[in-house]
Amino acid sequence: MQTDLSNENVIHIKNKKIQYLQFRKLLEYKDIINHAYSLGVNVNYRTALNGKPDVSNKQSKLAKNSYKRLCKSIGCKYNNLVKPRQCHTNNILIAEKKINKLTPDFNLEEYNRTDGLITKKKNMVLATTNADCIIFLLFDPVKKVIANVHSGWKGTLQKIIVQAINKMINIFECDPKDIICCICPSIRECHFEVSEDVKNQFEKEFSNLNGNTYMCEEKKEIIIDINDLIKPKKEKWNIDTVLINKILMQNMGLKQENIIDSGICSMCNPNLIHSYRVEKEGFGLETALIELK
């Protein structure tokens, strides 16, 4: 377990009341955007239970305080938060305006069963939460469009990242070569162990990746073998959902150097990152924020 998660792609910020990661690549545009991925099991960004607003005073207060501290630290306004009602779908919506004027747009009916938001509006803080699932922060510095996308294993199966990029292309005329995608901490191949039924779904959905070429971080072109993505482990299988999504993004036209991976496993760092598989029932949530200034 590490106490400082900084690496070549992310910086670990530690304040007295809050900790978070920022991507070095996105900090090159800090005059255009704000962003952060939260850290710390002493915070919890759970604003809903089973898809419905959480009416527990203690939990609601903790989530509110956690969001307020994070927003204050990165310089955005708490009331500008917009968070969908996540449900492991591949649904992506465009956030056109704040709905609540004086409070955050948390889990509103307008964003029901939604796992990603895109906007080009300023001062709208797009938020999603995770506890092992992947969060993608996307930014086109040319068209000035941002997206925040939540992708659990079901979202990966449904290729939600493809849906998000397609919307950026078709609605906002983004060029995939300009899009930057930052991959927040999540469960990684080392711990994402599944049973045969899930393994079979992944084999069926992604068998067409066999023979595809993939440009890895070392700038080497690799021929994809499905066995590199789904590896047997005794009676279970380990799946590299992060690599699958990287391949999907490159197939969409994103440049390898614009796919920025935190490289951090949530299960390897349960002292700093909430993990569903570690905490089980009552697990906490981290959040990722992104905003155009």
Across 98-175, the runs of DSSP E, i.e. the strands, are 105-106, 116-119, 125-130, 134-140, 145-151
As a whole number of angstroms, the distance between CA 158 and CA 94 comes to 19
As a whole number, the mean pLDDT across the chain is: 95
How many other C-beta atoms can be found within 10 angstroms of the C-beta atom of residue 113?
A: 13
pLDDT at 54: 55
For range 111-134, the mean pLDDT? 97
Whether the per-residue pLDDT at 148 is higher than 70: the answer is yes
pLDDT at 57: 62
pLDDT at 197: 97
Whether the per-residue pLDDT at 50 is higher than 60: the answer is no
pLDDT at 1: 64
Residue 154 three-state SS: helix
Whether the per-residue pLDDT at 144 is higher than 60: the answer is yes
pLDDT at 107: 87
Whether the per-residue pLDDT at 152 is higher than 70: the answer is yes
Among 41-55, 69-83, 118-132, the range scoring the smallest mean pLDDT is 41-55
How many other C-beta atoms can be found within 10 angstroms of the C-beta atom of residue 268?
A: 18
Tokens 């927040």 -> residue: 184
SS3 content of the chain, % helix, strand, coil (to 5): 30, 30, 40
> Per DSSP, what are the bridge partners of residue 149?
116, 136
Contact by Cβ (8 Å): 74, 117: no
For range 252-262, the mean pLDDT? 98
As a whole number of angstroms, the distance between CA 258 and CA 261 comes to 9
For range 111-119, the mean pLDDT? 97
For range 4-9, the mean pLDDT? 98
Whole-model pTM above 0.85? yes
Contact by Cβ (8 Å): 115, 90: yes
Residue type, 58: K
CATH numbers and ranges of domains, the chain: 10-189+254-292 (3.60.140.10), 193-239 (no CATH)
